Amino acid sequence: MKTFSLELIIIVLILMTNSIYTIQCIYGYGQRGVVYESGIEWVHNCPGVLYCFEAFTNNITAVINLIDYPWDQYYDQYYVRGCGGDYGTPKDFHPYRGKPNENDLRKDPSQIIMNISTPQTITGQGGKAPFKLKYICRKDQCVGSSVSNTNISIILIIFLSLMVSFLIF
């Protein structure tokens, strides 16, 4: 009986992992040129997600078709920022892992293509377009490549599991 309840507690704690861990990402879209940048951004809580990202394109037609915003040809780079799992991206993403040129990709992540997608809207925007990865980061409100943040929920689960096992045995 004690073993069953311990296993049940461990399973519940593991299932709660995604709801416990939340990262805050800078979310939005915009455009940048040599001198100026304009866009819309806000901080967004992303529960159960392990990274934030920015992807960009130089193709103004692609962003005009995806997002309703006053895009301007003066700018030469158009971007989206978000949480993993948004804009059709995977919830957990390790673009460099296992690649033969891993160090090169870390230095220049724009070699990695992400398919950005948005739902069809009444104004006509929506679809899918290839964007280049500018950065992927794993800290709250990060705006560039950064080292992974320690996953607090895993530490919490290990601690609680040890506490429960000491109480039971």
Say whether both 66 and 130 belong to one domain: yes
Say whether both 13 and 90 belong to one domain: no
Say whether both 97 and 159 belong to one domain: no
- Lowest mean pLDDT of 14-18, 68-72, 80-84, 124-128, name the range: 14-18
What is the domain range of residue 126?
23-150
Q: pLDDT: is 136 or 3 the higher one? A: 136
Q: Give the chain's mean pLDDT.
A: 79
What pLDDT, on the 0 to 100 scale, is given for residue 6? 66
Say whether both 86 and 41 belong to one domain: yes
Three-state secondary structure string covering the chain: CHHHHHHHHHHHHHHHHHHHCEEEEEEEEEEECCCCEEEEEEEEEEECCCCEEEEEECCHHHHHHHCCCCCCCCCCEEEEEEECCHHHCCCCCCCCCCCCCHHHHHHCHHHCEEEEEECCCCCCCCEEEEEEEEEEECCCCCCCCCCCCCCHHHHHHHHHHHHHHHHHC
Task: Report how far residue 135's alpha carbon sits from residue 142's, in angstroms, rounded to the nearest whole number.
Answer: 10
Say whether both 29 and 16 belong to one domain: no
Q: How many residues does the chain have?
A: 169
Say whether both 34 and 59 belong to one domain: yes
Is the predicted pLDDT of residue 129 greater than 90, yes or no?
Answer: yes
Alpha carbon 148 to its chain's center: 12
Say whether both 141 and 166 belong to one domain: no
Q: pLDDT: is 15 or 96 the higher one? A: 96
Report the half-sphere exposure of 128 (CA within 13 A, side-chain side).
Answer: 5
Q: How far is CA 5 from CA 8, 95, 113, 131, 156, in A?
A: 5, 39, 46, 48, 18
Burial class (CB in 10 A: 0-12, 13-18, 19+), 19: exposed
Say whether both 33 and 74 belong to one domain: yes
Instruction: Encode pLDDT of 39-57 as tens digits.
Output: 999 999 988 888 899 999 9
Say whether both 47 and 99 belong to one domain: yes
What pLDDT, on the 0 to 100 scale, is given for residue 139? 84
Say whether both 155 and 97 belong to one domain: no
Instruction: Encode pLDDT of 76-122 as tens digits.
Output: 999 999 998 899 888 887 776 766 666 676 677 778 888 888 888 87
Say whether both 5 and 39 belong to one domain: no
Domains held by the chain: number: 2
Say whether both 83 and 155 belong to one domain: no
The residue among 84, 66, 63 whose CA lies nearest residue 120 is 66
Is the predicted pLDDT of residue 147 greater than 70, yes or no?
Answer: no
